[in-house]
Amino acid sequence: MNAILAVLFDFDGTLTLPGSIDFAGIKKAILCPVDVPILEFIEGLPSATDRRQAWQVLKQFEDQAARCSRPNEGAEELIRFLKRRHIRRGILTRNRSASVETALKNFVHVRLADFNVIIARDHVQRSKPDPEGVLLAARRLRVPVASLLMVGDYRYDIEAGQCAGAPTVFLESALTTRRPNPCADFTVRTLREISGVIDRLNRSRKKAHKDHK
C-alpha cells in the first residue's frame, strides 16, 4: 500500500457526532421509501415542482442539523495531527457545502481553512457511492488516489473509495447498522485510531523502500 499523503473525510457522522441529521424524518417528509437513498429519490421525482419542493425540505433539515452539529470524538485532534505531519486534508460529502461551512463553526480548534479541499454534492454530478468525488479530490489535492485515505462511517464512503482505488477506513459507531461489503481496508471505533493507522502504513512504506534499495 502507498504512503498516505492525504486523508479524505466524510463529514456528517464522521467528523461530526453521528445522529445530528434526521434521515428518517427527511424520508417521511418527502415520502421517500425507507430503502431508497434520499438524493437519488429526489432526482428521480417525475416533476420539477416535486423535485424543487423535496430539495427545499432537505435543505431545511440539513440547515437545522448543521446548526446543531458538534465535532466527533477525536476529530479536531486528528486534523491537527495531520497538519503537523503535512498530510493534506479534504472533505467529501453528500451534503451541501453551505451546511459543512455552518457546522464547522461549531468546532473549537478546526476551521474551514484547515481543509485543502471540500467537495460537496453541489460540486459533482454523481455523489457517493460513485467514485467521482474521490477522484476529483485526489486531483485537487495533487496526490495519487492510492495515497489518499478515504474515511467514513457509511458504506457509500467505502464503496466510493474502493471504486476509485483509494485505501479506506470504516468508522463504526453505536448507530452503525450496516457494514460495507466488501470490507474496508481498516475498521476503527474512534477517529483517534486513524493516526496509528497512518503511522503504520507510512512506516511500512519507508521500510519497504529501504529494503528495495
Query: pTM of this prediction?
Result: 0.93
- Residue 14, classed as helix, strand or coil, is coil
Is 153 strand, coil or helix? coil
Confidence of residue 208 (pLDDT cuts 50, 70, 90): low
Q: What are phi and psi of 85, to 5 degrees?
A: -85, 0
Which pLDDT value is given to residue 62? 97
Q: Which single residue is written with the C-alpha cell 421517500?
A: 32
Helix (H) / strand (E) containing 196? helix 193-212
Average pLDDT value for residue range 180-193: 95
Residue 74 region by backbone torsions, left for phi larger than 0, else alpha for psi between -120 and 50, else beta? left
Our CA angle for 124, 35, 70, nearest 5°, is: 60
DSSP 8-state assignment for residue 114: G
Instruction: Report residue 206's pLDDT band, with 50, 70 and 90 as the boundaries.
Output: low
Mean pLDDT value across residues 65-75: 96
pLDDT of residue 12: 95
- Segments making up each domain of the chain, as ranges: 6-17+72-212, 23-68
How many angstroms separate the CA atoms of 127 and 163, rounded? 13
Least confident range of 20-29, 78-87, 111-120, 202-211: 202-211
Q: Which numeric CATH code is attached to 6-17+72-212?
A: 3.40.50.1000
Q: What is the reported pLDDT for 96?
A: 96
pLDDT band at residue 128 using 50, 70 and 90 as cut-offs = very high
- Provide the CA 9 distance to its chain's centre, in angstroms: 4
Cis peptide before 182 (omega within 30 of 0): yes
The mean pLDDT value for 143-159 works out to 97
Average pLDDT over residues 11-16: 96
φ, ψ dihedrals at 81, nearest 5°: -60, -45
Q: Is the pLDDT of residue 213 over 80?
A: no
Q: How confident is the model at residue 177 (pLDDT cuts 50, 70, 90)?
A: confident
Check residue 210 and give its pLDDT.
55
